[in-house]
Structure 1
């Protein structure tokens, strides 16, 4: 396999023209700032450009507490979209799960031996951080919690979370076996939003859960407060302090933030809100491609077609400090030629965005259509075409 690189000349000309227009200064809004010094870990990235807008100790390990549940939800999303499970599938609350998790920490008040849908469990985990819901979900889908955490860790490695490990489905204290970094959590959020945008919209950003006769509110600090915000997950342990992974989308820009180690809930809430607002205020975004736009093509070997279109799963743009301008160069990278079969929606390439004065960044590109393996006649045609 060879690393293929293709520079997008036309797109570069367009992007340079966009960037050459001076950005207007922010409106008469309050001035926001990155998290204060008593929040030791902070990271802000723009998924639309892949650019890191702010970074403080992004590779420092910490215990994520309930933020762990994002990995449980992502693993379930992967199973749903692969057709291995369905949201309507019913799981039973086992004796072991009920004994261990009934009334422990955040809960959705599951009953012993209750049969509950995957859909309800996911809503319980994402909206009220249900410890019992996460445990029943993992045990019911994998057969046991050790098998479920094996699946979680396999998915973490697959998406590039290089410095994280999960020992529980819900982040309950496990003597430090569960740990993450801010960079890995941003990777997880990016994979979840990019791969499963419909499921993300279905389960995150909900303010209220009504289940088993109880009504509970979501306590994340940004949803319904910061414009365009839709979660994602808070976490707290006495050892690690208060943390939060959050996201918001405005005008085609999707920001993801991570903070950890905040000394109290008040600092966690204020820092989270101001961090997202600062990202939108301090940087101006310039659009390059709309969501679903065809960005380029990649060569395919052994397929019914000799190439496949490359689409942007999210809107793509780039950031510059507000009021500044700069040139941008775009390049497509992939290991190729790609080997058939190629599945529609599969990530097969990356778009590199090199903005003058900032570090290059990359965003994923996915296959625009299925490319099945070639039959005998198609292989013959491709061989002839290859000669010429």
Structure 2
């Protein structure tokens, strides 16, 4: 591969915009064993600590449960007025007779889907989740199969797998915190009206009012979700999201030892998301990045262009030593089809993991005429080639 050399895109970025705030003197490090920060607009990962490791998600996996419910509502197969019957078995194993989070559903009662949704989202009610699953799919196992199919359709990590709708510990119930954050991003973008339920502070059913357990609501400016989780295997975890100055960030983590530690780390991660990390567009879509040499073409150079915006996230200390270069096989033989992927933009630095982005031919390059090809061949013969 031939490298065109370091590009000057860094000079084109605002130094002021790339300078970390005064209070951020060292690189951020989460106290959670697994943590991630996503930029919602671009989907890029701003921070990762073991964020692709499959973990026990606890009730955070209810986000996938509710995504299926949201899609059922949107498809018109159910409405909030639809009623499902509470199986007495659900009352015994996941409801008031259990030690799990529940919304006090009565056995054999008919309950509106709208109430079940709010119970599942706001108070993390396991009895509501199982009743929804059985009402929609006929059984929890059939509903779980849909959750796993949807995970594949959304492009989640192949290791992500659901075994139940509640998030209770199970050896086959695993997902990474990055996938949890990606699920939240999808829910927010695809079902904004449904997502608003995650910001409700309390829910009353059967004359019992229970609070939303998300410690960010009402304490962190701009926070509007998403979901807490806790089991013996997972520890205390949370998916959180907030909007400030028109920018949305999403965080997910697990493994804290207490509720207080979870609340503190949730605020710490979101604060870092807005103050310690910034998103920068290196090139917009359809921008020319460089030009590459063409062999035996009607033109000697072909423009290398982006197809989608090239966006990176930078944290404290990551800008220092950051470099970019274009690499391609030299020279590129004609003919070249417009839009063909023919080069890569490589961005890397001492504190920035190497990333590569495809570059495409900005125009069609036909073959040179026979005389030009013959002349080039003669030049190679006399010059001995490279």
TM-score under structure 2 normalisation? 0.68
SS at match of 2:261: helix
The 2-side partners of 1:30 and 1:223 are apart by 28
SS at 1:170 equivalent: coil
Over 3 Å counting, the alpha-carbon distance change for 1:108 and 1:18 in structure 2 is: farther
Rounded Cα–Cα distance in structure 2 between residues aligned with 1:31 and 1:226: 23
Matched residue SS, 1:204: helix
Gap change, CA 1:57 and 1:158, over 3 Å in 2: same
Question: Is residue 18–residue 286 contact of structure 1 (8 Å, CA) maintained in 2?
Answer: no
Match of 2:182 among 179, 182, 187: 187
Q: In the alignment, what sits opposite 2:263?
A: 269
- 1:361–1:78 Cα change, 3 Å: farther
Q: What does residue 165 of structure 2 align with? A: 169
2:237 is equivalent to residue 243 of structure 1: yes
Deviations 1:236-263 (A, max 9, x none): 1112211111111112221111111122
DSSP-derived class of the 2:77 partner: coil
Are residues 1:134 and 2:103 paired? Answer: no
- 1:210 partnered with 2:210: no
Correspondence for 2:141: 146
Task: Rate the CA distance shift 1:211–1:147 in 2: closer, same or farther, 3 A.
Answer: same
**Are 1:49 and 1:319, in contact at CA under 8 Å, matched by a contact in 2?**
no
Output the CA distance in 2 between the equivalents of 1:355 and 1:192.
31
* Distance (whole Å) between structure 2 residues aligned to residue 231 and residue 124 of structure 1: 15
Q: Which runs of 5+ in 1 are unaligned?
A: 1-14, 289-294, 297-311, 329-352, 363-388
1:85-96 alignment, distance < 5 Å: 85-96=78-89
Q: Provide, for residues 92-136 of structure 1, a one-character-per-residue CA deviation record: whole Å limited to 9, x for no partner.
A: 112232232222211111112222222111111111110111111
Is the partner of 2:16 in helix, strand or coil? coil
Separation (CA, whole Å) in 1 of partners of 2:223 and 2:25: 18
TM-superposed CA distance for 1:269, in Å, is 1.4
Indicate if the aligned counterparts of 1:128 and 1:217 stay in contact, CA closer than 8 A. Answer: yes
The residue aligned with 1:44 is 37
**1:172 & 1:111 partners in 2: Cα distance?**
21
Residue in 2 that maps onto 1:6: none
**Map 1:116-127 → 2, pairs under 5 A:** 116-127=111-122
Q: Return the offset for 1:207.
A: 0.7
Q: How many Å separate the matches in 1 of 2:178 and 2:46?
A: 13
Please state how far the C-alpha of 1:327 moved relative to its aligned partner. 11
Whole-angstrom CA distance in 2 between matches of 1:128 and 1:17: 50
1:76 to 64, 69, 74: 69
Among 199, 203, 219, the alignment partner of 2:213 is 219
Determine the structure 1 residue equivalent to 2:109: 114
Go from structure 1 to structure 2 and tell me whether the alpha carbon gap of 1:94 and 1:317 turns closer, same or farther (over 3 Å shift): same
Aligned position for 1:283:
277
Query: How many residue pairs end up in the alignment?
Result: 301
What's the CA shift for 1:30?
12
Which of 209, 228, 244 is residue 234 of structure 1 equivalent to?
228
Point out which structure has higher relative CO (alpha carbons under 8 A, 6+ apart): 1
- TM-score (norm. length: structure 1): 0.68
Secondary structure at the counterpart of residue 219 of structure 1: coil
Larger radius of gyration: 2
Task: Give deviations 1:128-163, integer Å, cap 9, x for gaps.
Answer: 110111111111111111111111111111112222
CA gap of 1:195–1:95, structure 2 versus 1, over 3 A, is: same
Alignment partners' CA distance in 1, 2:234 and 2:261: 14
Equivalent residue for 2:155? 160
Shift of 1:169: 0.9
How far is the alpha carbon of 1:56 from its aligned partner?
Answer: 1.0
Identify the match of residue 22 of structure 1 among 4, 16, 27: 16
Whether the 8 Å contact between 1:19 and 1:327 is mirrored in structure 2 is no
